[in-house]
Chain A
Amino acid sequence: MTLIQLSGVNKHFGDYHALRDIDLEIQQGEFFSLLGPSGCGKTTLLRTIAGFEDVGSGSIRIDGRDMKGVGPNLRPTNMVFQSYAIFPHLSVAENVGFGLRRADMTRDEKTRAVGEALEMVGLGGYGGRAANALSGGQRQRVALARALILKPKVLLLDEPLSALDKKIREQMQVELIKLQREVGITFILVTHDQEEALVMSDRIAVMFDGGIGQMDDPETLYRRPRSKRVAQFIGMMNFLDGEVAATGTEIEVTVQGLGRCSVAAEQAPGAVAPGPVSIGIRPETLSLLFEGETTTRKEVAAVVDEVVYYGDMTYYDVRVDGIEKPLTLSMKNLIGRPVLDVGTQTRVAWDERSLVLLGH
């Protein structure tokens, strides 16, 4: 069931075109992410859904109701703010129960609801504490409880994890996913962290310059980016120049440094015409061939240019004749597999399935 429907939404701040023709539909119960670099309009889009910003043109419908002229206090949405916006003059329990003032509940019912909400986010027994005595992770949980206690149709999260350190952030990612499945509420997450978006979302809209660049599930987004920009933003990608000779179910293409090959049409997400083309290759689809190793894939000679050791993985930059920029590839550090030194002569295995045709 479609819960949120945006059609033709545009928004200007003075001369600045903050949102361009946004069309999107978000399903009931979906974990949806808006991903993009800072200034791409993702937070503005979230704020128009929450009702803090008017739309210039176009419409927003939530649960079938047009939201034009409906203030944030009357929308079935609640928000977790980037700064958490915890009221410093209230206790944890008063913060969580803030929105219940108008609810048709007795005092006892409210107290119980607050207790349950705190329990749900793992802060049982913290109700009496002063809000500004909490750590960042705890403030985040209070903000979540405060929003979820009102049982909104949509929970909006504005970069909720960006202020936390890495360990807590990863833990909160998992907890948020669990929580979302538990309560079944639609979550819309704004983030600039592509990894976070890939880990958490059912679907992701990648935004650039106020418009949506691509909207897909995480796997499609990673494997079949539609443009060089999306490919660049999500994960790591090597870009090579190529030339399309013929199109059809198989695309004949000459790749700089790697030679001529034919690629299945589905590996070119956009329409491809004969002529110059950009070709993307993910680091993990290439592999180094260690001494004596053979492969059924194609291989090309290379020289190790740079080695970055991550513990579980090693990233190599290798030089291949005919390609001016070194190719980045990643190897799992399996048992018995050496880490090569800079300058080592080696071979790189690749095949047609590594290639993504990106248009130009």
Chain B
Amino acid sequence: MPGFFVLLRIVLQGIKPDMLRGRLTESGKRGLVLISPPFAYALLLLAVPLATILLFSFWTQDYLTIDTTFTFSNYTEAFGDPLYMALLRRSLLIAGAVTVVTVLLAFPIAYFVSFHVQPSRKSLWLFLITIPFWTSYLIRVFLWKVILGYNGVLNSSLIGVGLIDEPLSFILYNANAVVITLAHAFAPFAILPIFVALEKIDRSLLEASLDLGETRVTTFLRVTLPLAMPGVVAAVLIVFIPTIGDYVTPRLVGGPDGLMIANMIQTQFLKLNNAPMGATLAILAMLSVTAVSLVFIWLNRRWLRGPK
């Protein structure tokens, strides 16, 4: 999505007043030719579907046909129905929990690779971190079912060791299972941006902080962490945005209490044959993501002063 806006900006900046009067400069022409294939692609696959969804959200389903009268009734219904709002709230909470868990676990890993692995070994480590991606997402989710199940790997081991007498039931078919599964799936997405931010920190800054009387711990808090913030914010966005719309994981490991807004959107489109309502919920989900992302982008701007 941001890619689309970047393209759009490039195109708009490329258009000079001369062009609007029908006179294209040589370089302007060449620029437009160069940009047009990806732009057409983005237009077709991003902007058009997005506009369609937006349009649908203002229509209504009239049994088998779609009533194309412009109305806000879907939005009124979505805000009025406690089920939709509960699902949206739960999606935000689960996505938030996944983001917190993922970023908190990713930071130490990224820190270790950046600061304590020999430079010649770093790429090997990054390569190993991507191993989860070698298996399909679906299989990974299924594997978590095997691990977390009533008679699964975790429960039978814990019983075998004698730590528990009966299987733990709070780890599968609820929101916890969704958080665990998604946090694992998105770990590399969080590790990589944080790693890059840590790599960019000039090591002499840390020495300067030590030299000025700070300990290793306070140096981390006063120098390393603030300078790693752009990476942390990127990781937060990269994890939060896709997880809020995830519907495979909640469907497979979430149980009835772990379902999220995307499951409802899917149901509206495919089972209830109510595309306009599905579109409305999709727009609402997107708006919540946008709101959260804007907050983080603003935080990031505040955090790092100076020219951008």
Instruction: Determine the residue in chain A with the shortest Cβ distance to B303.
Output: A89
Decide: A102 near B213, CB < 8 A? Known: A88-B227, A132-B306: yes
Cβ of A78 and Cβ of B307 under 8 Å apart?
A: no
Which one of B128-136, B203-211, B231-239 contacts A?
A: B203-211
Q: Give Cα distance in the complex from A82 to B213, angstroms.
A: 19
Partner of B213, one of A73, A87, A90: A73
Decide: A81 near B207, CB < 8 A? Known: A73-B215, A102-B213: yes
Q: Give Cα distance in the complex from A146 to B208, angstroms.
A: 10
- Residue B51 is within 8 A (CB to CB) of chain A in the complex: no
Cβ of B306 and Cβ of A150 under 8 Å apart?
A: no
- Residue A130 is within 8 A (CB to CB) of chain B in the complex: yes
Cβ of B306 and Cβ of A72 under 8 Å apart?
A: no
Complex interface: chain A residues within 8 A of B209 (CB): 87, 98
Q: Give B177-218 interface residues, CB cut-off 8 Å to A.
A: 202, 204-205, 207-215
Cβ of B307 and Cβ of A133 under 8 Å apart?
A: yes
Interface 1/0 per residue, B146-190 and A, CB below 8 Å: 000000000000000000000000000000000000000000000
- Residue B304 is within 8 A (CB to CB) of chain A in the complex: yes
Q: Give A80-109 interface residues, CB cut-off 8 Å to B.
A: 81-83, 85, 87-91, 98-99, 101-102
Interface 1/0 per residue, B221-243 and A, CB below 8 Å: 01100110000000000000000
Complex interface: chain A residues within 8 A of B202 (CB): 83, 85
Instruction: Determine the residue in chain A with the shortest Cβ distance to B201.
Output: A88
Q: Give Cα distance in the complex from A110 to B100, angstroms.
A: 37
Q: Give Cα distance in the complex from A358 to B8, angstroms.
A: 73
Cβ of A150 and Cβ of B213 under 8 Å apart?
A: yes
Closest chain B CB from A114 CB (angstroms): 13
Pick the most buried of B208, B209, B306, B307: most chain A CB atoms within 10 A of its CB: B208
Cβ of A71 and Cβ of B210 under 8 Å apart?
A: yes
Decide: A87 near B223, CB < 8 A? Known: A71-B210, A79-B208, A150-B212: yes
Interface 1/0 per residue, B296-308 and A, CB below 8 Å: 0000000111110
Q: Chain B contact residues (Cβ within 8 angstroms of A): what range?
A: 20 to 34
Complex interface: chain B residues within 8 A of A146 (CB): 208, 212
Closest chain B CB from A135 CB (angstroms): 13
Instruction: Determine the residue in chain A with the shortest Cβ distance to B227.
Output: A89
- Residue A131 is within 8 A (CB to CB) of chain B in the complex: yes
Cβ of B305 and Cβ of A91 under 8 Å apart?
A: yes
Q: Give Cα distance in the complex from A146 to B209, angstroms.
A: 11
Cβ of A130 and Cβ of B306 under 8 Å apart?
A: yes
- Residue A290 is within 8 A (CB to CB) of chain B in the complex: no
Q: Give Cα distance in the complex from A82 to B209, angstroms.
A: 15
- Residue A50 is within 8 A (CB to CB) of chain B in the complex: yes
- Residue A52 is within 8 A (CB to CB) of chain B in the complex: yes
Partner of A72, one of B210, B223, B303, B307: B210
Cβ of B305 and Cβ of A89 under 8 Å apart?
A: yes
Complex interface: chain B residues within 8 A of A91 (CB): 305
Q: Give B270-295 interface residues, CB cut-off 8 Å to A.
A: none
Instruction: Determine the residue in chain A with the shortest Cβ distance to B209.
Output: A98
Q: Give A123-154 interface residues, CB cut-off 8 Å to B.
A: 130-133, 146-147, 150
Closest chain A CB from B196 CB (angstroms): 16
Complex interface: chain A residues within 8 A of B213 (CB): 73-74, 99, 101-102, 150
Closest chain A CB from B75 CB (angstroms): 42
Complex interface: chain B residues within 8 A of A88 (CB): 205, 227, 304, 306
5 CB < 8 A contacts A-B: A52-B207, A72-B207, A74-B213, A90-B305, A98-B222
Given contact pairs A98-B212, A99-B213, a sample of 11 additional A-B residue pairs in the complex whose CB atoms are under 8 Å apart: A50-B211, A71-B210, A73-B210, A78-B212, A79-B211, A81-B207, A81-B208, A88-B306, A91-B305, A130-B307, A146-B212
